[in-house]
A and B are shown apart, each in its own frame.
Chain A
Amino acid sequence: MKYMFLIYDEEKNQNNGAPAVMEEYGAFSQLANEKGVIRDGNRLHATDAATTVRVRNGATQTTDGPFAETKEQLGGYFIFECKDLDEALSYAAKVPSAKFGSVEVRPVFEM
C-alpha cells in the first residue's frame, strides 16, 4: 500500500528552515531509506509562490496564492510504501513536523 503524508504547518515554521529541524528531517529520511519504505518526498516552496488554476466553461482562471487561505499550509509531502495503516502511522508520527504541525496520512488510489 502506498500512503501520502501531507505535512501541514504554519508557514513561519516552514520558512525559517531551522538547521535543527533540517537535521531531524535528514535523520528521518535516512531511517526511512534504510527500512526501504520511502518512495518520494519533497519540501514545497511557501504559498506565496503558489498559483491556483481552475478551468470553468472552457476558460482557464489563474489566481495568485494557495487553494485556501488557512493558518496551516501544506509544506511538503512523502510517499511511503507500507504493509498497512499501522505501519504508515508509526512513520507519520516520526515526521519532525508532527511535533508542531500535523501530518495527514492518505492512502494512494491503486490503479
Chain B
Amino acid sequence: MVEPQAAIEHTFREESGRILASLIRACGDFDLAEEAMQDAFAVALDRWPRDGIPDNPGAWITTTARHKAIDRIRRERTLAEKQELIAALDRPEDVSAADLDDEAPMQLIDDRLRLIFTCCHPALAPEAQVALTLRTLGGLTTPEIARAFLVPEPTMAQRLVRVKRKIRDAAIPYTVPAPEDLPARVDAVLAVIYLIFNEGYSASSGDALIRRDLCSEAIRLARLVANLMPDEPEAAGLLALLILQHSRRDARTGPTGELIVLEEQDRTRWHHAEIEEGAAIINEDMTSHGLGPYQQQAAIAAIHAQAPTPDATDWPQIAALYARLAEVQPSPIIELNRAVAIAMADGPLAGLRLIDAIDATGDLADYHLLHAARADLHRRANQPEAASIAYRRALDLCTNEVERTYLQRRLNEVTS
C-alpha cells in the first residue's frame, strides 16, 4: 500500500506542472493559481490519510484547486473581477476530473506548451525565464532554485515576484506563438532548457547533488517539449544531446570530485541504455531532416558515446560534423572543437596549425580551453616545453577549481 505522504509527494513531483498550467490558463493569474494549488495539496495532506488516496490523485488536486481558487476570488476580489474569473473557472469545457485520465488529453498538453512559451518569453530577462520555468513547469521550490543558482533565497523570491508581476502588468499572453514567430520562440525555449542543463553539467561549485538534479530536470523539460512539438526537429535534437551528455555523469569525476576527461573515462560507468535512447532519437532524425545545431551536437555526442574505446572514435566524422555545425552557427569555439577533432584524426600538428589560426583572430585569446587544447596537442606531439607554456597560460585564465587541478596535474607531468 502506498503511503498518503508518498502519494502526495509523487503527485506534486509528477503532476504539479500540468495542474498549474491548467489553473493558470483558467484564471490567468500565476499567483492565484499557485496559491490555489498549494491549498489543494494542504487539503490532501489532511484528507488522504483519513479517506484514502483518490483513484486519480492529479484530477482530485485539480478539482480541489479550482474550488479553492473560486473561494479565494470570492474573498479577495471585487465584484466585476469575480464574475469574470469564476465564469472562467466554472466553464465546463475546461479541465474537469473526467478529462484527467491516463492518456493526456490535448487540452492539457496545450496548457503546458502555452505556459512554457510564456515562461520563456523574450520580454523577460534570461535568468527570470530560467527561474520561472523551473518553478512552474519543473515544480522546484524557490529555495531549491536559489540553491541551484547559488543566489540568496530572498533574491530568487524577489526575482520570481518581479517576473510574475511583469507577465501580469504587461499582459504577456498564454499562447503558442503565431506561426511566423514560432521558430524564434522555440529557439528561446530550447535555449532556456539548455541553460538549465549546462548550469548543472559544468558547475563544480555548490551542492553536487542539486546540480545533478538540474540536469535531470532539464532532460524532463526537453522531453516534454519534444513530445509537445513533434514537428520541431531541434526539440528532439536537444533532448538527444542532453540524454547523451548526461549518460557520462558517473564517469566524469573521480572519487574526490576531480575532473576525468573523456579519453580517460571508464566507459563501463556510462549509462548505456541512455546512450541507446539518445542515439536512437538522433538516428531517426538524421534520415528525415536537414540538421540544426542541437541535432549536429547530438550526432557528435552520439559518436563519442558509442565508441568502445577512445582510439575507436570516428574522429574524421566528428571533424566533418563540426565543419557543418560551423556553417550553420559560426563560432570560434566550434572551430576550436573542430581543430581538436582534426588533431585526433590527422595528428597533433594538423590541429596545432588550426589552433594557431584561431588564436591569430584574437577572439579566444583569454579563453582557457584554447590554451589547454594547445597544451594537450603539444604534449601529444612530444613537445613538453611548448606544452608547459600553454598549460601555464591556461592555468592563469582558468577559475574553475576542478579544471585547475586537472591542468596542474598535466603541467607537472610535462615538466617532470
Contact = CB atoms under 8 A, between A and B. Distances in A.
A66 interface: no
A86 B175 contact: yes
Identify which of A84, A86, A89, A107 gathers the most chain B CB atoms within 10 Å of its CB.
Answer: A86
B173 interface: yes
Contacts of A1: 171
A105 B121 CA distance: 15
B98 interface: no
Interface of A: 1, 83-86, 89, 105, 107
B177 A86 contact: yes
A83 B175 CA distance: 12
Nearest to A89: B123
10 contacts: A1-B171, A83-B173, A84-B173, A84-B175, A85-B121, A85-B123, A85-B170, A86-B173, A86-B175, A89-B123
Given A86-B177, A86-B181, 18 more contacts: A1-B171, A83-B171, A83-B173, A84-B172, A84-B173, A84-B175, A85-B123, A85-B170, A85-B171, A85-B172, A85-B173, A86-B172, A86-B173, A86-B175, A86-B178, A107-B169, A107-B170, A107-B171
- Dominant SS among interface residues on chain A: mixed
Contacts of A85: 121, 123, 170-173
Contacts of A83: 171, 173
Interface string B144-173: 000000000000000000000000011111
Nearest to B181: A86
Interface footprint category on B? 10 to 19
A49 B211 CA distance: 57
Contacts of A86: 172-173, 175, 177-178, 181
Contacts of A107: 169-171
A58 B173 CA distance: 44
A85 B122 CA distance: 11
A105 B123 CA distance: 10
Going nearest first, the 10 A-B pairs with the smallest beta carbon separation are A84-B173, A84-B171, A1-B171, A85-B172, A107-B170, A85-B170, A107-B169, A85-B171, A86-B173, A85-B123
Contacts of B181: 86
Nearest to B172: A85
Interface in B87-140: 121, 123
Contacts of B170: 85, 105, 107
A92 to B, nearest CB: 11
A89 B175 CA distance: 15
Contacts of B177: 86
Nearest to A84: B173
Nearest to B167: A85
A1 B181 CA distance: 21
Nearest to B174: A84
Nearest to B123: A85
Contacts of A105: 170
Contacts of B175: 84, 86
Nearest to B175: A86
B370 to A, nearest CB: 35
A36 to B, nearest CB: 18
Contacts of A89: 123
Contacts of B172: 84-86
Nearest to A109: B169
A107 B123 CA distance: 13
Interface string B227-262: 000000000000000000000000000000000000
Nearest to B185: A86
A1 B173 CA distance: 12
A86 B123 CA distance: 9
A83 to B, nearest CB: 8
A1 B121 CA distance: 18
A107 B173 CA distance: 13
A84 B166 CA distance: 12
B179 to A, nearest CB: 13
A83 B169 CA distance: 13
B153 to A, nearest CB: 29
Contacts of A84: 171-173, 175
A89 B180 CA distance: 14
Nearest to B173: A84
A9 B123 CA distance: 21
B157 to A, nearest CB: 23
Identify which of A1, A83, A85, A89 gathers the most chain B CB atoms within 10 Å of its CB.
Answer: A85
